[in-house]
Amino acid sequence: NAGVTQTPKFRVLKTGQSMTLLCAQDMNHEYMYWYRQDPGMGLRLIHYSVGEGTTAKGEVPDGYNVSRLKKQNFLLGLESAAPSQTSVYFCASSPGGRGLVGYTFGSGTRLTVV
Amino acid sequence: GENVEQHPSTLSVQEGDSAVIKCTYSDSASNYFPWYKQELGKRPQLIIDIRSNVGEKKDQRIAVTLNKTAKHFSLHITETQPEDSAVYFCAASTGYGNKLVFGAGTILRVKS
């Protein structure tokens, strides 16, 4: 039982390049999330999904796209990377339904855009 | 939308002393308030949470209090130890999608 797994762990991109971050969970959770963490700003929600085939915008969605084709996977895409997207990205999941519970986070992806 | 403010941004205490971190939220519909601990280079880990129908919750040396009228909640750590040194985040959820809005974090340093 791995929980939430993120790949890659580190990546350096040049401005304008594209990449996809993969998040996989094996807990049969309905809800999945992508956050970015920047110094002094806490974690900010980029996009989220409340079930397979659904996605929605969070607080800071510009420059990112997501897909949830399978329940266990949530992909975050950067079509044209910018230096402002240098950050640590965390994926998280929660069971869903009416009960509110804390997230299980992945180990993070440190992305640097030069 | 929801806004969560967290204070202080840094907190230094002597080992054995207590530490208190405070958060305020703006959306009166928020009904779930978790606290996360993040060690350097690691993922955030849930340490305690409280729901809006409860005023206080304890788990060993950690406690959380909630004042719905004033829209603030606090984390209390007693008998602090060096391993409590980390960044602590509060968060609030308004329900749909269980979306959490996080505070900016508090760096806690426990000096031995």
Per-residue pLDDT of chain A (114 residues; tens, 9 = 90+): 679 999 999 999 999 999 999 999 999 999 999 999 998 888 999 999 999 999 999 999 999 999 999 999 999 999 999 999 999 999 999 998 766 788 999 999 999 999
Task: Check B97 against A103: CB less than 8 A apart.
Answer: no
- Pairing mode, if any, of strands B100-102 and A19-25? unpaired
- Report yes or no: B95 at the A interface, CB cutoff 8 Å: yes
Q: Say yes or no to pLDDT of B94 above 80.
A: no
Which residues are within 8 A (CB) of B97 and not within 5 positions of it... i.e. 6 or more apart?
A31, A48, A50, A56
Q: How far apart (Å, rounded) are the C-alpha atoms in residues A100 and A91?
A: 18
- Report yes or no: A90 at the B interface, CB cutoff 8 Å: yes
| Interface probe, candidates A49, A103, A109, chain B, greatest B C-beta count within 10 A | A103
Measured on CA atoms in the order B66, B5, B90, A54, is the torsion positive or negative? positive
Residue A44, phi then psi, degrees to nearest 5: -120, 135
Residue A51 has what pLDDT?
Answer: 94
Residue A39 has what pLDDT?
Answer: 85
Q: Which of B36, B95, B99 is facing A58, going by the closest CB pair? A: B99
Residues in chain B with CB shorter than 8 Å from the CB of A94 are 98
Please compute the mean of the pLDDT values over residues B48-53 and round it to a whole number: 91
Residue A1 has what pLDDT?
Answer: 64
Structure-token pair, residue B33 = 């308030």
State how far the alpha carbon of A67 is from the alpha carbons of A9, A25, A30, B23, in Å: 20, 14, 14, 33
Would you report the helix, strand and coil content of chain B in percent, each value rounded to 5?
5, 55, 40
DSSP reduced 3-state for A85: helix
Q: How does DSSP classify residue A39?
A: T
